[in-house]
Amino acid sequence: MTDAAKPAFPAMSIAQAHALLGQPGTMFEVTEGEVRGVRMKLYKNAPPTLREIYAAGALFGARDHVVFENERASVNGVRNAAAKFAHQLIADGVKPGDRVAIIMRNLPEWPVVFWGGVLAGAIVTPLNAWWTGPELEYGLKNSGTSIAIVDAERYERLREHIDNCPELRKIYVGRAREEIADPRVALLESVIGVTNEWNALSPVTPPDVPLQADDDVTIFYTSGTTGNPKGAVISHRNIISNMLNGAAAQARAFLRRGEAPPQPDPTAPQKSFLISVPFFHATGCFAIMIPALMSGNKLVMQRRWDADQALPLIERERITHFGGVPTIAWQVLEHPKVDEYDLSSVEGVSYGGAPAAPELVKRIKARFPSATAGQGWGMTETSATAISNAGEDYERKPASCGVPAPSGEAKIVDDKGAELPRGEVGELWYKGPIVVRGYWQNEKATAETFVDGWVKTGDLAKMDDEGFVYIVDRAKDMLIRGGENIYCVEVENALYDHPAVMDAAVIGKPHQTLGEEPLAVVHLKPEMKATSDELRHHVAQKLAAFKVPVEVIFWPETLPRNANGKIVKKDLKKQLEQPEF
């Protein structure tokens, strides 16, 4: 279709697109229902539990599903290993509702033991593989975990803390380098074998454990900035509604450009994901790993994100989707050897968790003309992405994280919970079937965060007339300079708009009379140069003078991040307090 023949964008409003998607009899049919006493929009035809999602994968059984270095296993290889592990957990005494923890980096075993725990009726509790021994001890004790599955590296970190976890009765260790004498320890390979053996497993029927849509199925710990992490308790409905939200957002993009969404086609070429976010993060697990089994997609893992390794992997494995956080997209686009590899397979680049420069979507479209770029907003408490922006909408409004899915509602409220008019900044609240029921054994925090089905996100945001949401900042990270509010994200976005800036963070610098002033820390793109004065002048052309950083510090490498890819400003501040700065 020529540009002249294309209908004007958008071909219909968001409300019209959602009404079409949610018609009776469709996959995305929306109805009203009650979940734990709260009325909300629900997907009428959603599969009830993850067991149905697991079963759907059988349609793609022979396809490659997990790839890690020289290891490879098919969809059915993973499914059979998972069902085998589920039977082992039940033999170990696991009852429905018991907590089974996963503590390992992204490895092929991760999805196997996750699905095994789900099929056994356990509440699967992934813990952050970056945590220290004391932090892991906290997670195990707080969740009351009875069985843990760990990799050898995490076992060494945990070894001296096991005796402090009285409810922990058995530990499966994967990839152990030597025998472990502890009678509580078993080798994971003794149950499921090694990755390259899974395809040869005989078919295994999963255990017949009763499961319901609103049963607790996982606990994911938040990456909170203050106090101990809180365990968000997530149901089958939460995760499956999130999957449908993602599919509905893709379909909405077609309707918005005046095209009919494509029908699901099991014979279509396989999608292949370079997984760069941890499986113990809601995005990695709910938005990528779980849908990948149902759809027969391929998950290609790296030991850690490395752009030098990523480029040949994209070429070799015909990767169709990559992303995670904006920095990953930038590192691929800016890599000095990017043109030496065949990256023509790329169909989608998506990210969230951090501000993205408006320039990024243009660069993605220039490098991958047929690919769809997208970003979104979500949190552990919304079971991953809740608001998304993709395709032409993202190109048109690159500063927005998008709009809620057909089953979701968002509003901007003041400090008393009253809804604000469009365009005004307040706290973002979200409601829908992806919102978790609360925090594990923490009634106080649950009552403070969840109100009548709404989650109080702690993010400052505004909404335009079309319903597109713009995240302004984390409420607790906002700077106040002499009584004037400075939203750090706004300043960071201005910095990201400079062609030399790859990474940026704005933090508060104490000031005797003003209280604090904005200080910027940036990491430049390869071979690019800029001065502090140049970047300050650049920001001054876009923002009021009081928002301009008083100083720009140049960081020699990517800024410090947590496992979810978010810049950890408290770590940045600590490093800046060192004598060399």
HEC string of 427-479 equals EEEEECCCCCCEECCCHHHHHHHEECCEEEEEEEEEECCCCCEEEEEEHHHCE
Residue 101: strand pairing partners? 125, 148
pLDDT tens digits, one per residue of 343-366: 999 999 998 876 677 788 999 999
150, β-bridge pairs: 103, 173
Helix axes 488-496, 358-367, angle to 10 degrees: 40
Please, what is the angle between helix 109-119 and helix 75-91, to 10°?
50
Cβ neighbours around 483 below 10 Å, total: 8
Whether residue 5 has pLDDT greater than 70 = no
- pLDDT tens per residue, range 121-158: 999 999 989 888 988 999 999 999 999 999 999 999 99
CB 310 within 8 A of CB 349: no
Bridge partners (DSSP) of residue 505 are 521
C-alpha dihedral over 195, 199, 204, 208, to 10 degrees? 60
Model confidence pLDDT, tens digit, residues 161-202: 999 999 999 999 999 988 899 999 999 999 999 999 999 999
- Judge if the upstream peptide bond of residue 266 is cis by omega within 30 degrees of 0: no
In the chain, the domains with their CATH numbers are 71-211 (3.40.50.980), 245-276+304-472 (3.40.50.12780), 478-576 (3.30.300.30)
Alpha helix (H) ranges present in 95-211?
Answer: 109-119, 133-143, 152-158, 189-192
Cα 50 vs. chain centroid, distance in angstroms?
Answer: 18
Q: Do the beta carbons of residue 233 and residue 219 sit within 8 Å?
A: yes
Q: Position 20: which residue type?
A: L
Average pLDDT over residues 323-350: 93
Under the banding of pLDDT at 50, 70 and 90, the label for residue 580 is low
Distance of CA 413 to the CA centre of its chain: 25
Q: What is the pTM of this model?
A: 0.87
Residue 159 pLDDT level (bands cut at 50, 70, 90): very high
d(CA 137, CA 131): 9
Lowest mean pLDDT among 24-28, 439-443, 563-567: 563-567
Return d(Cα 417, Cα 439) in angstroms, integer.
21
Cα torsion 367, 368, 373, 379: sign: negative
d(CA 344, CA 66): 21
The contacts found for 234-237 with CB under 8 angstroms, 24 or more apart, are 234/383, 234/436, 235/436, 235/437, 236/48, 236/49, 236/50, 236/211, 236/212, 237/35, 237/42, 237/46, 237/48, 237/213, 237/433
Q: How far is CA 370 from CA 114, 300, 331, 478, in A?
A: 34, 22, 20, 38
Compute the distance between CA of residue 390 and CA of residue 372 in angstroms, rounded to an integer: 7
32-86: pLDDT as tens digits: 999 999 999 999 999 999 999 999 999 999 999 999 999 999 999 999 999 999 9
**What's the gap between Cα 234 and its chain centre?**
14
Percent of the chain whose predicted confidence (pLDDT) is above 70: 96
Reported as a pLDDT band with limits 50, 70 and 90, residue 572 is confident
Closest-CA residue to 381 (of 234, 235, 564, 224): 234
> Among 252, 450, 427, 459, which Cα is nearest to 354's?
459
The average pLDDT across 381-392 equals 96
Average per-residue pLDDT in the chain?
A: 93
What are the φ and ψ backbone dihedral angles of 392, each rounded to 5 degrees?
-65, -35
SS3 33: strand
